[in-house]
Amino acid sequence: MIIKSLELSNFRNYESLHLDFSEGTNIFYGDNAQGKTNILESLYMISTTKSHRGVKDRDLIRFGQEEAHIRTVLIKNDLDYQVDMHLRKNKTKGIAINGQRIRKASELIGLLHIVFFSPEDLSIVKDGPAQRRRFMDMELCQLDASYLHDLNHYNKIIEQRNKLLKDVWQFPQLADTLDVWDDQLVSYGTRIIERRREFIEELAEIVGTIHGKLSGGREKLIISYEPNCGAEEMAAILKESRNKDIHLRMTSAGPHRDDFSFMGNDIDLRKFGSQGQQRTCALSLKLSEIELVTRLIGDKPVLMLDDVLSELDSRRQNYLMNTIGGIQTMITCTGLDEFVNNRFEIDQLYQIENGHIKGRTGCRRLSITWTTTYLTTI
């Protein structure tokens, strides 16, 4: 799976942009707030139809404009696909594949698989359950269109049920109407629980081996799914907690409160792990994600590292870069020190400044050998 090119029009801080990518490692460097992450965000939109930042479509359109366009060409199974995405402030997005408009955005799911790694992911172990649910949802929504469908409907029903709970607080006679929402909540929720369980079990088979190598064999890592309630008992728990929910005016049970655990040598790393242990665990999880996606789709995903190398020590940097060989990789960074110090090889180098490509260097293999301002091609 390869992304060949990207065109942006009025997307974020880009008035107009055209990029041709290398099949290897592509580096985007420059100062903060110049638009490096926006490039990765646009590609993530093509993969999932949503921003990894969780913002609405209208917030992705360049200030003062009414619409934006994302166009990309990618190769999958030796076939070229052209994807066009049209974002509008007050209308739903339009998407076309090879010139044919698709009726539902979910039809795009599965065409492009991306593993996205940002500094926030390094905190996945120590942060709260919401961050870990986000990890599960980001990957499962790419792998399984039915999961995306179920999750979208579940979230809408939760929103409607919570609104109704607030009304019931003032008008108790409305309580009987909760049954309708509960039935739908159970229908979608049980499927979400089962798919998350399968995903964590598949990931657990891989993560132990990778973590053992990263930790030098000193730590055995086990990850386990911790559902808020089992699929088979969700209906009963919703019924039992109804009075509590009315009092709290929110839904207290369901997969929107799920979590999963990290046990290292029988210690809960979420609570008692050192920062080094937690970061090693997070890196193991992301590398396992790459391996799992490769197994499930029979092809390698595109890897995106958003300013994450600066957050890793040299040993973890080396392990990560040595592991991703053969995978098309997009990396953002503020400087090139990590590549200089470790002599990482790259294929395409872009300097980003205020929504423009100030400079680019491309060759079959580029190795930064160093001086302060020079790149030496070998």
* Cβ-proximal residues to 80 (8 Å cutoff; 6+ apart), any chain: 4, 73, 74
Q: How far is CA 340 from CA 213, 325, 361, in A?
A: 25, 18, 16
Arithmetic mean of pLDDT, 41-52: 89
Over the stretch 242-275, which tens digit does the pLDDT of each residue have? 999 999 999 999 999 999 999 999 999 999 999 8
Distance in angstroms (rounded) separating the CA atoms of residues 181 and 176: 10
> What pLDDT score does 123 carry?
86
Q: Tell me, what DSSP letter sits at residue 102?
A: P
Model confidence at 365: pLDDT above 70: no
Topology given in CATH for the domain delimited by 1-113+300-378? Rossmann fold (3.40.50)
Residue 287, helix vs strand vs coil: helix
pLDDT of residue 120: 83
The model's pLDDT over 129-176, given as tens digits with 9 standing for 90+, comes to 999 999 999 889 888 889 989 999 999 999 999 999 999 888 888 888
CATH 1.20.1050.90 maps onto the chain at 125-298
> What does the mean pLDDT of the chain come to?
88
pLDDT in tens, 72-92: 999 998 899 999 999 998 888
Strands (E), the chain: 2-11, 14-20, 25-29, 67-76, 79-88, 91-97, 100-101, 114-117, 221-226, 259-264, 267-268, 302-306, 329-333, 345-353, 356-367
Query: CATH number of the domain at 125-298, please?
Result: 1.20.1050.90
What tens digit of pLDDT does each residue of 293-331 get? 999 888 899 999 998 888 888 888 888 888 887 899 999
Give every CB contact of residue 48 below 8 A, 6+ residues apart in sequence. 109, 114, 138, 141, 142
> What's the pLDDT at 33?
87
Q: Supply the pLDDT for residue 55.
A: 80
Q: How far apart are CA 199 and CA 260, in angstroms?
A: 11
Percent of the chain with pLDDT over 90: 59
CA–CA gap between residue 181 and residue 159 (Å, rounded): 10
Please tell me the distance from the alpha carbon of residue 13 to that of residue 60, in angstroms, as a whole number. Answer: 9
Residue 83 in tokens: 């994807």
Say what the pLDDT of residue 189 is: 97
Residues of the chain with CATH 3.40.50.300: 1-113+300-378
In angstroms, the first-to-last Cα distance of the chain is 27
User: Higher confidence at residue 322 or residue 185?
Assistant: 185
